[in-house]
Chain A
Amino acid sequence: MQDMQNGDSPQEVNQVGDTEDPSKFLGDIIGAPVVVKLNSDIVFRGTLQSVDGYMNISLERCREVDHNNKVVRDYGEAFVRGNNVIYICLDDGSV
């Protein structure tokens, strides 16, 4: 740890308790309903079919919703390029 430089992976330093890194989270939420927000503030809801290291996402039953959760468009199955994504949120019905 003393030899740690900027840019080194911090993963091995602290992997205790309820640590949950992004790759583990992604693995856990495959198949779950999610809310995906893009940089343009567009929000998609759907079931997460798959996701990769770029945060490219494929969604099943993908709907675009507005601020009031009203469905604007229904896309069915859709691919979202990862660079546009701000966050992927687990949808437990409260969002």
Chain B
Amino acid sequence: MTTENVLPLELIDKCIGSPIWVIMNGGKEFAGRLLGFDDYVNMVLEDVTEIDPIGGDKKLPKILLNGNNVCMMVPGGDGVSTFDDEEK
């Protein structure tokens, strides 16, 4: 039996250069293109939308995101476009 064993950070490594959706512990979200990351999962993101349920959305050209409060990372973009696709 052969099972494809993809390690978590390997998955994220494959996302470099692609859109990624990052969900933080406090409920804040970031959607942008992943340029790189390190062992702490600090990330460099480009063309970012900061999605804040309370403060509203904000565009950011290029950020270094602290990995400390990262909860989940979803390859392939933001939830909005995912849901838009489903409606079509």
Q: Which residues of A are in contact with B by a Cβ distance under 8 Å?
A: 4-11, 13-14, 17-26, 29, 35, 39, 41, 55, 67, 82-83, 85-90, 92, 94-95
Interface string of B38-51 (1 = CB under 8 A from A): 11001110001000
Does A25 contact B36, Cβ atoms closer than 8 Å? Answer: yes
Interchain pairs with CB closer than 8 A, number:
92
CB-defined contacts of A82 to chain B, threshold 8 Å: 66
Name the residue on A nearest B24 (C-beta): A86
Does A19 contact B61, Cβ atoms closer than 8 Å? Answer: no
Name the residue on A nearest B33 (C-beta): A18
How long is the Cα–Cα vector from A95 to B49 in the complex, in angstroms? 11
Interface string of B9-40 (1 = CB under 8 A from A): 11011101100000010101010000111110
Q: Which residues of B are in contact with A by a Cβ distance under 8 Å?
A: 7-10, 12-14, 16-17, 24, 26, 28, 30, 35-39, 42-44, 48, 55, 58-66, 68-69
Q: Interface centre among A22, A25, A39, A95, by most B CB within 10 Å? A: A22
Does B60 contact A20, Cβ atoms closer than 8 Å? Answer: no
Name the residue on A nearest B60 (C-beta): A89
Does A92 contact B66, Cβ atoms closer than 8 Å? Answer: no
